[in-house]
Amino acid sequence: MHYSTLLFDLDGTLTDPKLGITRSVQYALAKLGIAEDDLDKLEPFIGPPLAGSFKDIYAFSDSKSVQAVEYYREYFREKGMYENEIYAGIRLLLEALVNQGHVLMVATSKPTVFAEKILSYFEIASYFQAVCGSNLDGTRSDKTEIIEHLIREYKLEKPATVMIGDRKHDIIGAHNAGIASIGVGYGYGSESELAAIKPTYCVRSVQELAALLA
């Protein structure tokens, strides 16, 4: 594969954050008087910007969504961030890609400060030359903005850059930024979700991703 710069999504691509994210959402909802015992129902919160998800899924107003995000972070920064696990094979993949001369970066809708802590926690931060996420005030949360920021900041050549992610937002961001994309089917985007937005490539496992990038 001819891509020299690889942009990785974080949640659902490098790590499986289900427990931490869904418990953080559950905590926020409880603070707002909504009881949700089934964490599986909160999976749609994994990947997209949080405030938008609270609006889309629970029809919260702008102000209520902001409050929900604040409550979410109360739990997330203390516990939820670490209720997470790296996908099997990811560490070996990152090491191999760096050894092959690829430039790796993280492009996530999660606030940059949290993304950096998670990468350090799993001891994979050293593989990435840059980490770009949203700001804590909610700005730069759209994946298109994040990808375009990396392209501008690091003067990336678009034909040599590919975005790797598990949700439609990753692929749409790549399309809008004019770069190629790889949809990964082992995360939290359904097969139909990914197929509908037509990533450049699609893989079903970390092993298939490694084979594609080799």
Tens-digit pLDDT profile for residues 13-49: 999 999 999 999 999 999 999 999 999 999 999 988 8
Residues 117 and 68 sit within 8 Å (Cβ to Cβ): no
In this structure, the answer to whether residues 120 and 153 fall within a common structural domain is yes
In this structure, the answer to whether residues 101 and 50 fall within a common structural domain is no
In this structure, the answer to whether residues 12 and 77 fall within a common structural domain is no
In this structure, the answer to whether residues 111 and 11 fall within a common structural domain is yes
Confidence at residue 138, expressed as pLDDT on a 0 to 100 scale: 84
Is 73 a residue whose pLDDT tops 90? yes
Cβ within 8 Å of residue 187, ≥6 positions away: 9, 11, 12, 13, 16, 46, 47, 165, 166, 167
Q: Specify the number of domains making up the chain.
A: 2
Known catalytic residue at 9: yes
In this structure, the answer to whether residues 112 and 209 fall within a common structural domain is yes
What pTM, to 2 d.p., does this model score? 0.93
Domain's final residue, options 42, 61, 82: 82
Which range of residues forms the domain containing residue 29?
18-82
In this structure, the answer to whether residues 148 and 196 fall within a common structural domain is yes
Q: What is the mean pLDDT of the chain?
A: 96
In this structure, the answer to whether residues 43 and 121 fall within a common structural domain is no
Structural tokens at position 184 = 């990964």
User: What is the C-alpha to C-alpha distance for residues 123 and 174, in angstroms, rounded to an integer?
Assistant: 27
Q: What is the CATH number of the domain that holds 60?
A: 1.10.150.240
User: What is the C-alpha to C-alpha distance for residues 204 and 32, in angstroms, rounded to an integer?
Assistant: 37
Domain's final residue, options 66, 82, 98: 82
Digit-coded pLDDT (tens) for 122-175: 999 999 999 999 999 988 989 999 999 999 999 999 999 999 999 999 999 999
In this structure, the answer to whether residues 65 and 146 fall within a common structural domain is no
